Amino acid sequence: MSRSARIRLFWAAAVVFAVVYTLACTGLPHFGTTVHPYGSRAVAASLRQRTANVVSSINFDQRALDTLGEESILFASVLGTTALLRHARDERVGRPRAGRVLPSTRLLGLVMVPLTLLTGVYIVAHGQLSPGGGFQGGVILATGLHMVYVAADYLVLKRIRPLGVLDVADACGAGAFVALGFAGLIAGAAFLQNVLPLGTFGEISSGGLVPLLNAAVGIEVGSGIIVLLASFLDQAVEVRSETDSGSGERT
Amino acid sequence: MNTATAQEYLIAVALVLVAASATAAALARDPVRQAVLLAVLGLCLTVLFTLLQAPDVALSQLAVGTAVTPLLILLTVRKVRRATASHHDRDKRGPEGTDES
């Protein structure tokens, strides 16, 4: 198809889409109304389950099965990426050379890495009380670890990153979610039903199953993203094809 | 000006910022520039979600959209560029160079 025909097709489709979309939008409820049918029911249910963070209550209690599907997607994509980016026969691994870092960058990293990791753990642990939870905290933990790569170099990152352990932790976190779901079946209720004692509203031990599921997701997401970034970093920094010369690149 | 109106103005500003940065990311041709603009878009979306009182989504957006996705794109670009650069080197070496492959 020629360029002008393609552009004409685009504009025809864009006009149709704009008209139908505008028509559809006129039927929507107004922006920021006071009546929220789903919201008020969800808030009432999460108060009943003594979970202060309503979003966590929806994600890990009222609709925990949806979250199981989402975290399985992440697990499967990490698995697929590691399988795709594994070392092929015509690739060689060069040892990356040590990089030079400014002392001020190193100092900032030394201060920020523990702070970021602590923030990550806090956000995972307080998912049932304040905004955040397993997913957000897990991503913060994973990205916090990679500040070492910025503040030091790839060799240091490799030394403090136990990839074998994290591979297993990723699978265990994904499995623990399903196992916690079966706890409901064993107790004589439905799969993923919140059967644990609910505790006191606003305490860290409240919400029954919610903090445990958050911890499982936190472990799975944190280690999963580290493994994912590790296979990408491996390809970008270390692996070179046979035709390449030289032994690794400065990190 | 009362708080509700001020908030609506802030939301409108955030929406315009999101539209502008998304358009810039779509129009950029260089993948590296695109990755950086994607991070900016992630930041604008974070502000928008915070103003719309969705802090959980804002946190996810900040972590994934601003940090992880651009990093994955940058690493991929680096790998792809190096692979094509080495191919160019091989082509420049002439017929003797291509024999070894």
pLDDT digits (tens, 9 = 90+) for B51-68: 998 999 999 999 999 989
Which residue is closest to A249 within chain B, CA to CA? B82
Contact A139 B75 (CB under 8 A): no
Tell me: pLDDT of A87 over 70. Answer: yes
Strand partners, A157: none
Residue A187 Cα, gap to closest chain B Cα (Å) = 31
Q: Measured between alpha carbons, how far is A155 from B41 in angstroms, rounded to an integer?
A: 32
Tell me: pLDDT of B95 over 50. Answer: no
Tell me: pLDDT of A173 over 90. Answer: yes
pLDDT (0 to 100) of residue B93: 52
Q: What ranges do the domains of chain B cover?
A: 3-92
**Contact (Cβ atoms closer than 8 angstroms) between residue A138 and residue A222:** yes
The phi and psi torsions of A138 (rounded to 5 degrees) equal -65, -40
Residue A53 Cα, gap to closest chain B Cα (Å) = 9
Residue B86 Cα, gap to closest chain A Cα (Å) = 6
pLDDT (0 to 100) of residue B22: 95
Strand partners, A91: A241
Tell me: pLDDT of B49 over 90. Answer: yes
Query: Cα–Cα distances in Å, from A168 out to A71, A173, A235?
Result: 16, 9, 21
- Mean residue pLDDT of chain A comes to 88
| pLDDT tens, position by position, B71-92 | 999 999 988 888 787 766 655 5
| pLDDT tens, position by position, A229-246 | 999 988 888 777 655 444
Which residue is closest to B86 within chain A, CA to CA? A244
Q: Measured between alpha carbons, how far is A187 from A205 in angstroms, rounded to an integer?
A: 20
Mutate to test the interface with A, among B57, B59, B81 (most CBs of A within 10 A): B59
pLDDT (0 to 100) of residue A35: 83
Longest distance between any two alpha carbons in chain B, whole Å: 77
Given B63, B75, B76, which is nearest A143 (Cβ)?
B63
- pTM comes to 0.84
Strand partners, A239: A93
Q: Measured between alpha carbons, how far is A173 from A222 in angstroms, rounded to an integer?
A: 10
Which of A 29-58 lie inside 8 A of B, CB atoms?
32, 53, 55-56
Which of residues A117 and A203 earns the better pLDDT score?
A117
End-to-end CA distance of chain B: 72
Contact B86 A241 (CB under 8 A): yes
End-to-end CA distance of chain A: 45
- Mean residue pLDDT of chain B comes to 85
